[in-house]
Structure 1
């Protein structure tokens, strides 16, 4: 078996010998900037809605449609981007998705009716749905096994900060300047694509996996030179060894064959259940405070900010400890505790805004840990030949659940009382905890090639 300079064995060994330096941090921050605005744009509609409800005279059902249409676009984006990234590269497709969601953010800001808003949000969603799973695959592939959990999750924290940023900016901006400025700000990352491709190299693991050995070797040499300049010294010799990964083309069917059948079922289940609760709560809570409890727009936005802050805090704790505690314990335990919080809120009747704020913040904080961790865990479950495809298709379940969650809330608020909203989220979170607890595997401390032959 050839272990030449651009082989997957050689590239993997050269990545595993690299110390973590400022170069990897720079790459994480550049890609993370796009992910920050992906989160910003994805949740911006939740904070615009208290104003949009009045401006466009929206019913509860129409509110659910405005939320869900963006996630439907994200579903399409997630399905398409994975296939394309396996063909043309992780970084190139990431740039394309950033351009799409940035430009259409300006178009959303120009919406003049419910119909135009729905159309532009759908197109924007296509870009939003593609960027995050591709970026997660890219970051995983340039990172070595040791402390990979902490490194990747500190990158994923940027998504949480994007959610918190839109909550903070909305609180100060929307009551004074209106909802359109949130989406104008969301178009900023278009500028990022002007130099992103010049600064960052393509994934060397992907290049090696598709047989572009010379480019893989050149890209890896570029990365090594960047690292050497920062440590001002030599790197240890790589120790390539034959890998179990097979050389063959990406195949959709392989996701459902052999060991990957069970893995695909587990990751799809945890993506669906965690994000149904996550986006169902985060997109609707500001509107629930206003429409159910008759709070002011300012108070509703403030409570929404508290909710997001709770999620950021829990995500920081997870990022710092996941390489010690492990993926399985964090994901299973967080889903279980989130379920308990939502079910408690149902049991006490969700009678006051304070009750809803306290228990949804706690439940959301636990579920937010899982929605961040799946971007680490899922790429670990698949080999290079189908990592972007597997991650993107798994994230499609995020988009499907994000369509169902807000629509479910709108239906319940139309037909019944608010406490049943949280019963549904509690049951779904419990199902996710049971499935992952029984069938999930631990992946900490292992190289990507070791985990996925």
Structure 2
């Protein structure tokens, strides 16, 4: 991170005086209005998340041509999709661990660099084996960027309006999915599959510029007892505010709040204080991974091989599903601070389960009927999926927040490893309806788990949510 001047004049103009404590850092963040630097952080880190979504789903639009190029069997395809998820599973632990020790922004920049350079290399892959190896390495970055980015955006937000602020950032992920599907539908038939991976190399730029343009998380710096740096980071945000700042209030209250709770370790995520939350998070993220990777990555191939749709139609139908995902995410951003996190997740997952069950019932109908059911399912899934990115970081204290998010992301990747194989096996056996019923059961069970094990976090300061 660049050095930010910390002068007496800066602190006085921001209405800050006295010792810098963890409570004062929290109080200053909670009084701060939305400002240009927050928007910059949301845009730049949003770009990393956008290309995370772009590169995750690029395999779906290129897969039909890869199958033809390398004569892949359904088992080969399942191995390709699953092996990439192995890298993401490792990344989901590796980068949050690094973020707890080296900083959120540093971890996001490094993961973006890995995503970008390996995407470019995928475009030059000479063989199926090399392509698989590159996807595994790229998975390290894909698995690590999202949980750390969600952690950072939550930590620079105040309680009031935090859900909307975070979700307006997170919506770039389904937009990335949509852009990848839409661009793939146009680019792949005209310019070849390699072009998608060359475009996906753009995050490499963020590796070089992100730390120079975005301050580190003040909350993380304060927890690490780096108070001077935390003060400088908050001052950077305060200087970006275009309106007079209100007096710093509740600093002593926040100090007492922090002192009441011990500094947590990773083992505490599975201890009495957080076990129920961790179980709810596990089911939440298993559902997102199971449906996202078990369904959306297969859709163009299902439409083409089972329903014999032309390549262009298969890709266009997949784009329609991505459009509903973006629309569902927009609705969530508008409602999440009004109705709460749990209601949105539960209703979204139940409607997703119903849509998938209907796809199973109607699997012998036309491709348009099945595609409609699948598009609705992915639209509802996106509503719950994007809410998970604001909800999960809220459930854990700053000292282990990134790891809590990483473990959630790891469950997503575990599901992503097995889900494509399940769909592949049922496709081989001609039992596509069974695949839809299995997929439908997962969000139904997740809705039950979140309802009974999760806690509502709407409108609360992050430190108030510590168990």
Contact 1:412 1:421 in 2 (8 A): yes
2:448 to 434, 438, 443: 434
**SS, match of residue 236 in structure 1:** coil
Contact 1:7 1:213 in 2 (8 A): yes
Contact 1:339 1:429 in 2 (8 A): yes
For the pair 1:278 / 2:292, whether they are aligned, the reply is yes
Structure 2 residue aligned with 1:16:
30
For the pair 1:237 / 2:237, whether they are aligned, the reply is no
Whole-angstrom CA distance in 1 between matches of 2:308 and 2:278 = 43
Contact 1:275 1:371 in 2 (8 A): no
Whole-angstrom CA distance in 2 between matches of 1:439 and 1:355 = 36
Structure 2 residue aligned with 1:345:
359
Structure 1 residue aligned with 2:164:
150
Whole-angstrom CA distance in 1 between matches of 2:364 and 2:64 = 21
For the pair 1:329 / 2:340, whether they are aligned, the reply is no
Name whichever of 414-423 and 386-395 sits farther off. Answer: 414-423
Contact 1:152 1:376 in 2 (8 A): yes
Structure 2 residue aligned with 1:105:
119
Contact 2:163 2:336 in 1 (8 A): yes
TM-fit CA distance, 1:235: 3.6
**SS, match of residue 171 in structure 2:** helix
Q: Output aligned runs, 1:264-275, within 5 Å.
A: 264-275=278-289
TM-fit CA distance, 1:259: 2.2
Q: 1:262 to 1:132 in 2, by over 3 A?
A: same
TM-score (norm 2): 0.93
**What do the CA deviations read for 1:165-203 (whole angstroms, capped 9, x no partner)?**
001111111001100000000001211222211111110
Whole-angstrom CA distance in 2 between matches of 1:120 and 1:234 = 49
TM-score (norm 1): 0.96
TM-fit CA distance, 1:356: 1.2
Whole-angstrom CA distance in 2 between matches of 1:278 and 1:339 = 13
Whole-angstrom CA distance in 2 between matches of 1:306 and 1:423 = 22
1:188 to 197, 202, 211: 202
Structure 1 residue aligned with 2:50:
36
Contact 1:6 1:212 in 2 (8 A): no
Unaligned residue ranges in structure 1 (runs of 5+): none
Structure 2 residue aligned with 1:447:
461
**What do the CA deviations read for 1:222-274 (whole angstroms, capped 9, x no partner)?**
221122xx22x344333311343357665221101222111111111111123
TM-fit CA distance, 1:402: 1.1
**What do the CA deviations read for 1:338-379 (whole angstroms, capped 9, x no partner)?**
111111221233432112111011111111111111110010
Contact 1:4 1:10 in 2 (8 A): no
Whole-angstrom CA distance in 2 between matches of 1:440 and 1:49 = 37
For the pair 1:260 / 2:271, whether they are aligned, the reply is no
**What do the CA deviations read for 1:52-96 (whole angstroms, capped 9, x no partner)?**
111110111111111122111110000111111111111111111
**What do the CA deviations read for 1:138-191 (whole angstroms, capped 9, x no partner)?**
000000000100000010000011000001111111001100000000001211
CA RMSD of aligned residues (A): 1.5
Q: Output aligned runs, 1:308-319, within 5 Å.
A: 308-319=322-333
For the pair 1:390 / 2:401, whether they are aligned, the reply is no
**What do the CA deviations read for 1:113-162 (whole angstroms, capped 9, x no partner)?**
11011100000011111111100000000000001000000100000110
For the pair 1:63 / 2:77, whether they are aligned, the reply is yes
Unaligned residue ranges in structure 2 (runs of 5+): 1-16
Contact 2:23 2:258 in 1 (8 A): no
